[in-house]
Amino acid sequence: MMQFRLGSYRLSKGPWVSVAMGPLLVGLALSRGVGLEINGVQPYALDQPRVPALLTPASGGAPLWVYSELHEQRLFAFDCFLDTGASRMVMSRSDRDALKLRATGQSVEDFGIAGTEHFDVSIPYRMYVGNSAANPADVKQFTHGIQCVLQLRRSDQNPLTALPKSLTGPLTSGLEGTGLSSQDLGDMLTEAVNIVGTPFLRNYVAILDPRPVVSALGAVIGMLGGGGGDAGGDGFGGLDKLLGQLEKSGSASASLGRMKVDLVPANRPYAATQIVVPLTMQNLEPKPVPVTKSDLPFVSNVVLSHGSRSARVSLLVDTGGGMSLLSSRVAQQLGVDLRRPQLTAFVQGVGKGGTELKGHWIGRATIPTTKGGPLVYNRLPFYIADIAGIDGTIGVNMLVPSVYMDMDMNKMMENPMGMLTSMKNGPMPFSRIVIDLPRQQLGLDPAQG
């Protein structure tokens, strides 16, 4: 399973780091013989799709819940990444404990961006997933369900373990006199990563709308006097409006700057998209495992070009990945000098701790379609990672607004707002993204510049 998150700066977790970004619709062009030409994609997705979910006993009955002192009521739902790159369904250690999930005593191994990891196996449950705006206290808003055996994490990951000492040093040095240890800081930053993978998505269609990310950026830019957005006269109008909508919704997943996710049963029609990319479902785990699993979606016959060389590859569509990956074999086939990386990222995911990835800019990627003409990406960032059976991935940064920040950690600690001016932004290629695994296709509506 390919879900991973950035170990540095948390660029994929929220829009607050992107205040200084300019227009997000630059970089799209229609060309003769090409459906859509996309320029300027940056290494990191600004957001990844998330949805709330709840669990009930497999035989039926009331959902599992925890009592929230903050909300003074029972909460049933927990936040999840909606991950096409995950062949299984995964629960974090913290939410597993909070809901008192029962394990069978079995163990299962999984592999991902940071190597292999062992998990516990749950008894069967029924999981219901809601739209991103669903209220976590309203069970009636969770109607999309499947029966599943969950993969249970034995410990949640400390994000500081994904960073080298050159980056953690400036962070932990500021703890002197606070009474906090580096472990305390790590615990504060640790996030419960729950994953809704392809076992659910083989039965439902997910419709993503990244425009709320752009709306939030406009509001924050306006608040800081950068103009644009719906900022209002005092610069806070747009932000106040967004916060008011969030408070009114009471949603677990609909936070400031999150993309909207709507779910549709597989047998229900939806509005057709302008572009359709065919998908091929592949089983990377031929051996049986004691948890629920499903095949993963790939785009075949993607042509990568770099200088005078080219390679025809099959890329995994990975909405759980904030960046795109390429195997060292394919990179070498393209003539990439792996000894001279142009990018560096520290990531976490399945596997112990974190890992450092080196990246390169690849000249061109041409993605075949069955409707709307080929998609062409010019100068595209890929990080090098070797995972058995995978040529590479189409990360969320190729589908939604993306960013890149190149700034020394020590300088950032001295001047936190300085990181805003060091950012480069990519385009919002699509205003609507339809993940339709039941029909084996990826639907796309180009954003209108």
Residue 92, domain CATH: 2.40.70
Cα 63 to its chain centre, rounded Å, is 27
How many domains would you assign to the chain?
1
Residues pairing with 149 in the sheet: 124
Q: What tokens appear for 299 in the block?
A: 């785009």
Domain membership flag for residue 114 = yes
- Position 252 scores a pLDDT of 42
Domain membership flag for residue 332 = no
Domain membership flag for residue 100 = yes
| Rounded Cα gap, residues 412 and 397, in angstroms | 24
Domain membership flag for residue 102 = yes
- Position 405 scores a pLDDT of 77
Domain membership flag for residue 444 = no
Virtual torsion, Cα 379, 30, 15, 432, nearest 10 deg: -130
Cα 111 to its chain centre, rounded Å, is 18
Place of tokens 């809704």: 196
Whether the model clears a pTM of 0.85, i.e. scores above it, the answer is no
Residue 161 burial (CB count, 10 A): 16
- Position 137 scores a pLDDT of 86
Amino acid code (one letter) for 235: G
Domain membership flag for residue 286 = no
Distance between start and end Cα atoms, the chain? 35
Domain membership flag for residue 258 = no
Q: Return per-residue pLDDT of the chain as tens, 449 residues.
A: 443 333 322 223 222 222 333 345 446 665 556 689 999 999 999 999 999 999 999 999 999 999 988 878 888 999 999 999 999 999 999 999 999 999 999 999 998 776 789 999 999 999 999 999 999 889 999 999 999 999 999 988 766 555 555 555 555 556 566 666 555 445 555 567 999 999 999 999 999 999 988 776 655 555 544 444 343 344 445 545 555 554 544 444 445 578 999 999 999 999 999 999 999 999 998 899 999 999 999 999 999 999 999 999 999 999 999 999 999 999 999 999 999 999 998 887 676 667 889 999 999 999 999 999 999 999 999 999 998 889 999 999 999 999 897 655 556 556 555 555 567 889 999 999 999 999 999 999 999 75
Domain membership flag for residue 437 = no
Whole-Å CA distances, 263 to 95, 251, 301? 23, 15, 29
* Contact residues for 76 (Cβ-Cβ < 8 A; gap 6+): 54, 63, 64, 65, 136, 137, 139, 142
Q: Taking the CA atoms of 28, 391, 108 and 285 in sequence, report the sign of the dihedral they define.
A: positive
- Position 356 scores a pLDDT of 86
Cα 395 to its chain centre, rounded Å, is 8
Instruction: Note down the domain range covering 54.
Output: 50-166
